[in-house]
Copies of this chain bind each other. A is one copy, B any other.
Amino acid sequence: MEKLLYGVAYYDEYMPYERLHEDIKMMKDAGINVVRIAESTWSTLEPQDGIFNFHHIDRVLTAMEAADIKVIIGTPTYAVPTWMVKKYPDVLAVTPSGQNKYGPRQNMDITNPTYLYYAERVIRKLMEHVKDQPCVIGYQLDNETKHYNTCGPNVQLQFINHLKSKFQSLDELNKAYGLDYWSNRINDWNDFPDITATINGSLSSEFALFQRSLVTNFLDWQASLIRDYKRPDQFITHNFDFAWRGHSFGIQTDVNHFDAARCLDVCGADIYHPSQDELTGCEISFGGDLTRSMKQDNYFVLETEAQAFVDWVPYPGQLRLQAFSHLASGANMVSYWHWHSLHNAIETYWKGLLSHDFEPNPTYHEAKIIGKEFERLSPKLIDLKKENKVAILFSNEALTALNSFSDFHKGLEYNNVLRLFYDALYRLNVECDFIDPSTEDMEKYSLIIVPSLYSASDALLLQLNTFVENGGHIVYALRSGFADENVKVRYSHQPGIIGESCGIYYSQFVAAKDVTLKDYSYSINHEKTTLKTVIELLVPGSAEVLARYDHPYWGEYAAITRNHYGKGTATYIGCLPGSELMEEIMKGVLNDAKLWDNNLHFPLITKSGVNRNNKIIHYYFNYSMEPSSFQYSLAAGKELLSDSIINTGELLQIEPWGFRIIEEN
């Protein structure tokens, strides 16, 4: 990128009256230098089969060109037009609830040939039309693509072919998935049943993996179409989204982000987070670290909230705090969804930078400050690079598999465990990357954190043992190593292969009912050690016991252990702690790995990196309603917002929801 991008999604198609030049004037006032257009507008772009209308796109491109605002073109393919569904109802996906109806977006089967035919045609027509426009700097493939649980007969046929190529024989498949159970055995490929009601978690997990591969294939196919046209200076990106719990929360269940990102030049994501009293910055950091890790590079925040919902309208200062928090994680673009609030339909109350009245409002006024600061500080803040020593190893497969057995683990869910770790790191001001089972260069990290890696291949687990042996540090959460890559529970002593490096085994695990810890040295009150979901009854071998269960019958078993293995250590947490206890556990693990050297704690958050000029940049954010202060202990430098000199040891004050940016000399 040439400079930091500050953007909005803009839909000329949706305007209730002619606004284009007035909007551009207001954008310029706010420092908006990029707009994202065209995604979801298929019905205006191709109002009837084969009849194309570039009216809105043309006039917006012309106007943006004149205003020196850059444009990202989105392919319009995630919302199909009425005429297509009327002509070819089969484009609507069949899910376990039956065939989808028209109305919502993302209702189609992304493997349907008719849909693909039309999608290809509209993309090619669009590309022919826009590719030479100077203001067009890049393309977004589709939007928040997922598999939408498409599982009709055609998809199941493809899945059977996938299995045929994965397994040598049906015998092998039956054995790997344990299909003899409840007469689910398949003795002839022609007998393959509808899998939507399967009670076999191995089969359903493999189907989920297959469904995720459909997303990778779809985006890869769209990227190949774009590449037929795009200029070398134009990028391809995609707007990934995360597991949603009223806001961006965790690893996406329906996409393999690392796989799907391979076809992109720049990764993008939407990051939506709680705000007002609930604004912590944690989701900004989480989404940023994850998106940066997809290609180990800077990324775009293609969508984030301006006003959005009634409980997200930012307090004064929060919009600015949020924007710079994205930069601190390595974003090169912060773009709002969307410019103006919609006057009709389901997202009427997902408000944009402007309210329905298009008038300046407090949020817009704050955006104007951000825009000016982005422009001024762009050379210092763009392309922030990080060399983190901590990585979180996540796995889409473990997520699917663990969650499919959640009811049997008293509600244990993968993303809850992952976030429990991540959030503790965040509050302790330890930055991290994400890696997944495809990662080859684990060795560059000192500490790998492994949330409930329920299912994994022998190879991956052996790789982790080797990592420790060679001097790395690992911390495992409960249930790790339990099942193989086919979600067959290992029939060795648990936790299987990693038991070797962890120096423990267990054979029973029970509900965490009225169970706390004892015999620990963490600085935490006993009552705050209450455990959740399930506990594993660990028997230490070579491992040292960091805590035991406090319970009338399970008190003999270990809860948390640490083992020296080769040159490294492996810590195993056989239970699910609360967030405060997790911080204490992590402090211990970080100390083992010699990675914990700061005393700043949430709500004071710090992020660092190296800029284009190889200068070290430090951000300090005050995520609270109270003023904050701290003693700056690093090398002397300059505070960039105020352009003032900062000396080591100086006491810095930060106003509520405020922040400082220091460039070391």
Q: How far is the CA of A175 from the CA of B343 in the complex (A)?
A: 10
In the assembled complex, the Cα of A14 lies from the Cα of B488 at a distance in Å of 12
Contact B188 A48 (CB under 8 A): yes
* Interchain CB contact under 8 A, B80 and A409: no
Q: Is A76 an interface residue (CB 8 A)?
A: yes
**Given A101-B194, A409-B310, CB of A361 within 8 Å of CB of B507:** yes
**Chain B residues within an 8 Å CB radius of A602:** none
Q: Mark A1-32, 1 if CB is under 8 A from B, else 0.
A: 00000000001011011000000000000000
Q: Which of A528-552 contact B (CB under 8 A)?
A: 534, 552
Place the interface of chain A in its size category.
Answer: 35 or more
Indicate if the CB atoms of A310 and B359 lie closer than 8 Å.
no
Report, nearest first, the 8 A-B pairs whose CB atoms are least far apart.
A178-B344, A349-B408, A101-B197, A43-B185, A103-B197, A102-B193, A79-B183, A43-B183
List of B residues within 8 angstroms of A76 by Cβ: 183
- CB within 8 A of A193: which of B11, B103, B201, B310? B103
**Chain B residues whose C-beta falls within 8 Å of the C-beta of A363 in the assembled complex:** 508
Of A223-231, A237-245, A490-498, A571-579, the segment with at least 4 beta carbons within 8 Å of chain B is A490-498
Residue from A182, A198, A201, A359 whose CB has the most chain B CB atoms within 10 Å: A182
Task: List A residues at the B interface (Cβ < 8 Å).
Answer: 11, 13-14, 16-17, 40-44, 47-48, 76, 79-83, 85-86, 100-105, 175, 177-188, 190-202, 276-277, 307, 309-311, 313, 315-316, 341-349, 355-359, 361-363, 405, 408-410, 487-494, 507-511, 513-514, 534, 552-553, 625
Give every chain B residue within 8 A of A409 (Cβ-Cβ): 310, 349
Which of B316, B507, B553 is close to A359, meaning CB atoms less than 8 Å apart? B507
Contacts of A357 in B (CB 8 A): 490-494, 507
Contact A355 B508 (CB under 8 A): yes
CB of A348 within 8 A of CB of B201, answer yes
* Main SS at interface, chain A: loop
Indicate if the CB atoms of B356 and A86 lie closer than 8 Å.
no
A sample of 27 inter-chain contacts (CB < 8 A) reads: A11-B181, A14-B180, A17-B491, A40-B181, A41-B183, A43-B185, A81-B187, A82-B184, A82-B186, A82-B191, A83-B187, A83-B188, A103-B194, A201-B346, A201-B348, A202-B345, A276-B511, A309-B408, A309-B511, A310-B409, A311-B410, A341-B489, A343-B490, A348-B408, A349-B405, A349-B408, A349-B409
Please tell me if the beta carbons of B178 and A345 are within 8 angstroms of each other in the complex: yes
| Contact partner, A81, options B48, B185, B508, Cβ 8 Å | B185
Are B310 and A86 closer than 8 Å at their CB atoms?
no
Expressed in whole angstroms, the Cα–Cα distance for A593 and B85 within the complex equals 57
**A343 lies within 8 A of B183 (CB):** no
Closest Cβ of chain B to A109, distance in Å, is 16
Q: A313 and B82: CB pair below 8 A?
A: no
Contacts of A186 in B (CB 8 A): 82
Chain B residue with the shortest CB-CB distance to A482: B356
